[in-house]
Amino acid sequence: MLRLSERSPLALGTYALAAILALFELAVLWQALHPQVPDNYRAYYIDKSTTCLAQPSTGDYILGTEIDFTDKGPNTEQLRPCGWDGPSGDGVHSIGTSSRLKFAVGEKRDLTLMLELATTTIPGPAEQPVRVAANGETLSVLALRPDQTERFTLAIPAAAISDDGSLELELDYPDAINPNGRTASTHWRAIRLVAASLTPQT
């Protein structure tokens, strides 16, 4: 058998190329098994622990303004990072098992949040619970009744506002409805958001 030193340069080059390709494939496999991706990407695509893949949004908002989320109101895309369908005549419909709202509110201060909500038009439970949280802390669990549009007010503590002056709210729907029993959870339905506002507490 020929020793390595006795093999032709072409054969040695082939072995070297095969070794490089094998190392490359191992590196690709490692990355596939241990992807370095943002947390929200991992939660949505890999862990599937959320149905809400947040998109960049400015949250532009003037305190005290009541926002109409129906198709008759202003463009609210900058306030809806994820978990919402486009606006319609009866509000924006939630999609998935959670949704987010973002408001740029400036300095940290205690606020009062108003949410005007209704359940989806798809038949569902006798009450639709909605967990409202800020920075991971639950503010309240609302109970929506079918065929009724209701206004809720919640106290927002100054501590819930981020250092950059933004307030991010998460609405979770533990009883979100699977429309036909086969639809992926990223398209389940729960509520309609009709209007919202934030006002400083006096």
98 and 196, same structural domain? yes
* Within a domain: 113: yes
Same domain, 80 and 12: no
- Summarised one tens digit per residue, pLDDT across range 51-90 is 888 889 999 999 999 999 999 999 999 999 999 999 999 9
The predicted-structure confidence for 89-100, as pLDDT tens digits, reads as follows 999 999 999 999
pLDDT tens-digit series, residues 123-160? 889 999 999 999 888 999 999 999 899 999 999 999 99
Number of domains in the chain: 2
CB under 8 Å to 92, separation ≥6 — which residues?
69, 70, 76, 80, 84, 85, 86, 192, 193
In tens, the pLDDT along 21-37 reads 777 776 666 565 656 66
Average pLDDT of the chain, as a whole number: 88
- Which CATH number fits the domain that encloses residue 91? 2.60.120.260
In a domain, 46, yes or no: no
Same domain, 26 and 124: no
Residue 162 lies inside a defined structural domain of this protein: yes
In a domain, 28, yes or no: yes
User: What residues make up the domain containing 99?
Assistant: 51-200
